[in-house]
Amino acid sequence: MKAFIVKRYGKKEKLHLTEIAEPVINENEVLVQIYAAGVNLLDSMIKWGEFKLFLPYKTPLTNGHDMAGVITKVGSKVSKYKVGDEVFSRVSDYKIGTFAEYIAVNENDLALKPKNLSMDEAASIPLVGLTAWQALVEIAKLKKGQKVFIQAGSGGVGTFAIQLAKHLGAYVATTTSTKNVELVKDLGADLVIDYKTQDFAKLLKNYDLVLHSNREKIVLEQSLGILKKGGQLISLVGPPTPEFAQEIGLPWHLKFITKLLSSGAKKKAEKFGVKFVFLFMRANGKQLGEITKLIESGIIKPVIDKVFPFEHTNEALEYVEMGRSRGKVVVKVK
């Protein structure tokens, strides 16, 4: 089968289109013929080697985390799915490889594709949907009437998180550029801040939650400052924390490194009387099933910027790396 692989880590490396063997499934896995794959900045960061300390992949490896497709084989102990089922998934770490024609996926990482979405639309959902769900529902337990600040509202996670936060009954503030103001308003944002002309730190105060995705240090400090006492900032960009290291079972020396890396952010959070949490989302088919219900009932709609042909996967990644996409970018595999 055809697959895009990372031959070696590096900022200037491109993915290589290669013929590799079709995956062999184990008893708890299904083989999925991939129809479409979502493209995420995480894919580029894996290629660059930014996570090799915590996720030590051996190269060469097939890249890609998001997909939608059709099951063509099932393992002997698979009970939830059958051949012919249309499914979607953010596959598990160490099991990635959605920039390919086929992939083996554990049945617990899958959900049935929403009936009202195309394969392209479905492939855009898993990573951003699970990120928003794990931040807002699982960690923050966001409640009706609470105030949440979602950074980068027109991005992949932002477009999903705004809709989910509104469904949960929150008041939503977000940042975006001038050209995307109407988009995020249409998604339900109550207060839209044009980051090119306005300063969120001067406009927002007493927020319960910040969903943080900006890598600039000053933005992290300003974001902690807009929270009310007891509020929390959930960061998608780090620094990683010892709690994260514990959760994914890292050895003691890496736990120590995460303690050093996150000490500054944690001290600043303590100074403001708030909590700093790092989220590195994980595969979860059950949560994806809950997201499917919201999509099928019309509560959440996918936002897609561009669909690239499979052969142009490198161009799709470059487009995402520019940080200007409105919603998600997808590669059409079949």
**d(Cα 279, Cα 118) in Å, to the nearest integer?**
29
Other CB atoms within a 10 A radius of the CB of residue 117 amount to 20
Of 16, 5, 13, 21, whose CA–CA distance to 58 is shortest?
5
Examine the domain organization and report whether 148 and 267 are in the same domain: yes
CA distance readout (Å), 90 to 14, 162, 180: 22, 20, 27
Same domain flag for 217 and 105? no
CB 37 within 8 A of CB 7: no
Q: What percent of the chain shows pLDDT beyond 90?
A: 97
Clarify whether residues 69 and 93 are in a common domain.
Answer: yes
Q: What is the CATH number of the domain that holds 222?
A: 3.40.50.720
Which band of pLDDT confidence, cut at 50, 70 and 90, is reported for residue 19?
A: very high
Contacts of 45 (CB under 8 A, 6+ apart): 51
CATH code of 322's domain: 3.90.180.10
Domain residues for 260?
128-278
Residue 317 is assigned to a structural domain of this protein: yes
What gap in Å lies between CA 20 and CA 173, rounded to an integer? 46
Total tally of structural domains belonging to the chain:
2
**Rg, C-alpha atoms of the chain:** 19
User: Residue 229: pLDDT band by 50, 70, 90 thresholds?
Assistant: very high
Note whether 254 and 145 are same-domain residues: yes
pLDDT class of 16 with cuts at 50, 70, 90: very high
State the chain's mean pLDDT as an integer. Answer: 97
Distances (CA, A) of 205 to 13, 73, 201, 210: 42, 53, 8, 11
Residues 248, 328 within the same domain: no
Note whether residue 291 is domain-resident: no
Nearest in space to 227 (alpha carbons), one of 211, 240, 248, 250: 211
Q: Are residues 180 and 228 in the same domain?
A: yes
Are 168 and 64 in a shared domain? Answer: no
174 in any annotated domain: yes
Closest CA to 332 of 23, 69, 13: 69
**176-212: per-residue pLDDT in tens?**
999 999 999 999 999 999 999 999 999 999 999 999 9
Query: What share of the chain in percent tops pLDDT 70?
Result: 100
Query: pLDDT tens-digit profile of 82-109?
Result: 999 999 999 999 999 999 999 999 999 9
**Does 102 share its domain with 199?**
no
Burial class from Cβ neighbours inside 10 Å (0-12, 13-18, 19+) for residue 267 reads exposed
Do 247 and 265 sit in the same domain of this protein?
yes
For residues 265 and 234, membership in a common domain is answered with yes
Confidence of residue 144 (pLDDT cuts 50, 70, 90): very high
Residue 207 carries which side chain, given as an amino acid letter?
Answer: Y
- Are 91 and 65 in contact by the 8 Å Cβ rule? The answer is yes
* pLDDT score, position 54: 87
